[in-house]
Structure 1
Amino acid sequence: MPLIFDISREFTMDQTVSSLSDVSFQALEAFCRRRHIRQLSLFGSVVRGDFRPDSDIDVLVEFEPGARIGFLALSRMQRELTDLFRRPVDLVPRAGLKPTIRAHILEQEKVLYATI
């Protein structure tokens, strides 16, 4: 059973909410299911409070166990998310986080989708 979090409740910045509130929860859930995503989170300026009109959206994804995701698939996912969020997306697989920044990113992440 997936959990979809209400974006407008997660973020209080007007810019952020207006930029993300039009995202279809059904489309986000369908994307995550189709792409074998266990958890999708936001991090970076979109959650820190310094999100600007020209900012991209940093998206952290964790894939289902056994999912084999190559570079081309990641590139397609990034384009799909850019279309879904209607702004540039920087897609980062959780497994690919560099140890030097991992803790910092994980402490600021806001989960939008997760499977139980």
Structure 2
Amino acid sequence: MCLFGSVLREDFRPDSDIDILVSFQDSVSWGLLEFSRMKRELENLLGRKVDLLTKKSIEQSHNWIRQREILETAQVIYVAG
């Protein structure tokens, strides 16, 4: 799990959302329901809106500028053991 975007910069405001990038092992089975539940749980824990993205979706993005920005600035906050 990584953070990216304004949460890592000085322009983070009280009304800013928190941008989170997640990746899953290939052996992990998950779908839209689990993804939505994870987003909702993170929003409840953090008390803010969360923009939750998967690393795979960013890697497959055609917007290479956004892709590079996210992947180069993301900071790991949790790795499952």
Same fold (TM over 0.5): yes
Q: Which 5+ residue runs of structure 2 have no aligned equivalent?
A: none
User: Residue in 1 aligned with 2:8?
Assistant: 47
Give distance in 2, aligned partners of 1:64 and 1:49.
32
The aligned amino acid for 2:77 is L
Q: Aligned residues, how many?
A: 77
1:75 to 32, 36, 57: 36
TM-score by length of 1: 0.61
Q: Per the alignment, in what secondary structure is the counterpart of residue 63 of structure 1? A: coil
Q: Residue 73 of structure 1: CA displacement?
A: 1.1
Displacement after TM superposition at 1:102 (Å): 1.7
Q: Among the aligned pairs, what percent are the same residue?
A: 47
Higher strand share: 1
Unaligned runs of 5+ in 1: 1-39
